[in-house]
Structure 1
């Protein structure tokens, strides 16, 4: 594999879980060979492997309870606050700046109550995050196909939460795949609301496979829209390769997004 001459407009990353059958050491080597140096969603026990290869943890995970048990239900607050309170110092030691969180499922709860509960819970960790220069990101997930009953399943709700939290250290992870499924209108949404988004994930629709011509989104235009906002953060490939050569698919995805 020959390293690409990337243009530098987009800071590329890739989500670890999509390549779970590839050893992390091997994925790190492949990432460097392709020409970038960041991986999303690697838990703390594997940070030493990233550091050995000079790879940055562009979105940390492992402090959350689960995708379904999140900040919108107060019964999870004590555990979440304890988790993140212990986790943030680990990030500081490692030199990482981004950590993920989730709203959790509705389970019959109305959106307004969920907003209030999330604000109440998140404010217990954001003071420390601010002091450390760490940003907490809540991911937008589709509730139509993959995450039934997820509360943070639309941009409007997510933006309202960011406004109420009122911290520069709390933003949304805008997952292009998820929001294409639940909302569509991706480029206009990014253009009009980019100040609330601090991280992006990709994925082909439908199926969450390669982001090439086999699916409905045109990622070069989406990347140009992201770049036009002045965004300097990471865009992580989060598609599940359907082709036999998964690393070749990853390289192809990076090429598509390297505008």
Structure 2
């Protein structure tokens, strides 16, 4: 996604921040990590800060009090361990977003990849491993659903043996990922029901599901038993989660906590500020309810 400027000048940035703080006085950008409540376990996605060297980014995480990083593979795990940062969502077994479990022609390679990756995730001390439905390519959703069930059934026993949870990500097919099959919570929930295992969950991306269906808090309340992880993002634009967009994250975080959720919430917005780490700090502070 192309980055955009948050605002034209430093003065305008200050005014924008003041407006937000006036609306939500509990959000204090000068707050030290030691003062954060940490009822929410904070994480952030690596790819959103791809221009920052990983080691430097991990140092920023330590300063901000972010305890985990999403969407990192085995090549990055040693450096995460050096800085005591948990890998809250592992990847590296998937074939990308478009070639996934809904199409049987990818099953052989996916089964091989996940069979190799699941033990690596467990050995490293991690739990979550991402997976994707892939694109429809003209396929009926019910057929794709059954294909996903048939394929995932072949690796779920291994995941169960190693204590690894496969997380099927919900993505929007309206704006960002045209033709992606797992684009509604109801489809993902049906997948989990058919597989009937605590080792297959949904990665509930709040940004994506706001685009596809809205009703975020009600869906979290109704389907939390099937949700294993959360991603944030501002809509429209997938930028900062402040008052420049339509989602009110303090209320969403309260709803998540009320379900008893104990996992991580990962910031996955694309920073538009000149200082992306300041934007990240704001996102974490907003969610630290």
Q: State whether TM-score is above 0.5.
A: yes
Matches within 5 A, 1:115-130: 115-130=145-160
- 1:177 corresponds in structure 2 to 207
| 2:35 alignment partner, SS class | coil
- 2:175 corresponds in structure 1 to 145
Q: C-alpha distance in 2, partners of 1:246/1:4? A: 21
- 1:227 corresponds in structure 2 to 257
- 1:89 corresponds in structure 2 to 119
- Conservation of the 8 A alpha-carbon contact between 1:4 and 1:34: no
Matches within 5 A, 1:176-215: 176-215=206-245
TM-score by length of 2: 0.88
1:4 deviation in Å? Answer: 4.7
Is 2:285 aligned against 1:255?
yes
1:37 deviation in Å? Answer: 1.2
Is 2:165 aligned against 1:135?
yes
- 2:79 corresponds in structure 1 to 49
Greater radius of gyration (CA): 2
Q: 4+ residue runs of structure 1 moved beyond 6 angstroms?
A: none
TM-score by length of 1: 0.98
Q: C-alpha distance in 2, partners of 1:37/1:175? A: 19
Is 2:184 aligned against 1:165?
no
1:5 to 31, 35, 38: 35
- Conservation of the 8 A alpha-carbon contact between 1:13 and 1:39: yes
1:56 deviation in Å? Answer: 0.4
1:157 deviation in Å? Answer: 0.6
Q: C-alpha distance in 2, partners of 1:197/1:235? A: 12
Q: C-alpha distance in 2, partners of 1:53/1:61? A: 19
Is 2:122 aligned against 1:103?
no
1:227 deviation in Å? Answer: 0.3
What are the superposed Cα offsets for residues 66-110 of structure 1, whole Å, 9 maximum, x if unpaired? 100000000000000000000011112211100000000000000
Q: C-alpha distance in 2, partners of 1:62/1:136? A: 12
Count of paired positions:
259
**For the aligned residues, what is the CA RMSD?**
0.9
Q: C-alpha distance in 1, partners of 2:178/2:122? A: 34
